[in-house]
Amino acid sequence: MRRVRKVGLIGWGAIGRVVGTALAERRVEGAELVCIVDNRPLGGAAPAPQLSFEEALERCDLIVEAAGQGVVREWGERVLTSGTDLLIASTGALTDERLAKRLLDAGPGRVSFTGGAVGGLDLLQAAVALGPLDKVRLTTTKLPSTLEQPWMDEELLGRMRTADAPVEVMSGTARDVPVKFPRSTNVAASVALAVGNLDAVRVRVVADPAAHHTRHVVEASGAHGNYRFEVAHLPDPDNPATSQVVPYAVLRSLAALAGRTGAIL
């Protein structure tokens, strides 16, 4: 018989609530929600015991991170060296190459990443294996209010808040942009993970007052082909900085780690 993965969920926010509820309702075959780790008292809102991080490591063989890049930095390596597997939703943390190397080298636990709100990453990985890509571009468009950051000056904030047309907020590489938008641009880091090069991915972040859907456009080309993926998602009503589809991407990844048959890999 296939073993049941004992899952500890870190984070009970917009992503964690959907993932945890689905696990508690046994909607992911081969996975059982054992506990939730969160820095706020959840009381009766949680469908599983709320435990400390150390207790979760003792009881679980798979930890799902759904709480932000800080958790990956603080606890990711400890999860893996304890022998527990780790599924990361906040891929933006991997723009720190030293952290990424430590996580990839750590064990005996295994680290995996969810693609989140963007598709086509499997095909990009296959294309890079065939030969180098000479262009990779990502354009992310969101509502201005979801992109406001403490480092922005009054001039930029004013342009965003009064815009009646799209405004470019930042452009750079996948190394630079996720650091500036830690809750909004995990997609940039995910594309870079697929390509294998943070500096090869050029990223534009656009604020659009008419962006009722969050939009990501990935364009890539090389000697062997041209690729273009465009997705448009409704923002999560509780956390507009993330898309509604993201927790379901986490659940898809969980199902694959739990050994679901018939999965597209």
pLDDT in tens, 246-263: 999 999 999 999 988 777
Structure tokens at 105: 């080298």
Average pLDDT value over all residues in the chain? 91
Q: Which residues does residue 10 pair with via DSSP β-bridges, in sequence order? A: 37, 65
Task: Say if residue 264's pLDDT is above 70.
Answer: yes
pLDDT value for 1: 59
**φ, ψ (nearest 5 deg) of residue 243:** -90, 150
Task: Say if residue 61's pLDDT is above 90.
Answer: yes
Nearest to 178 by CA among 212, 157, 149, 153: 149
Render pLDDT for 2-42 as a digit per residue (tens, 0 to 9).
689 999 999 999 899 999 999 999 999 999 999 999 988 88
- CATH homologous superfamily, domain 121-233: Dihydrodipicolinate Reductase; domain 2 (3.30.360.10)
Q: Residues with catalytic annotation?
A: 216
Alpha carbon distance 114, 214 (integer Å): 18
Task: Say if residue 67's pLDDT is above 80.
Answer: yes
Task: Say if residue 96's pLDDT is above 90.
Answer: no
Task: Say if residue 220's pLDDT is above 90.
Answer: yes
Average pLDDT value for residue range 212-222: 94
Question: Does domain 5-116+245-257 fall into CATH 3.40.50.720?
Answer: yes
Alpha carbon distance 78, 66 (integer Å): 16
List alpha helices for 181-243, DSSP H: 186-195
Alpha carbon distance 70, 213 (integer Å): 27
Q: Boundaries of CATH 3.40.50.720 in the chain?
A: 5-116+245-257
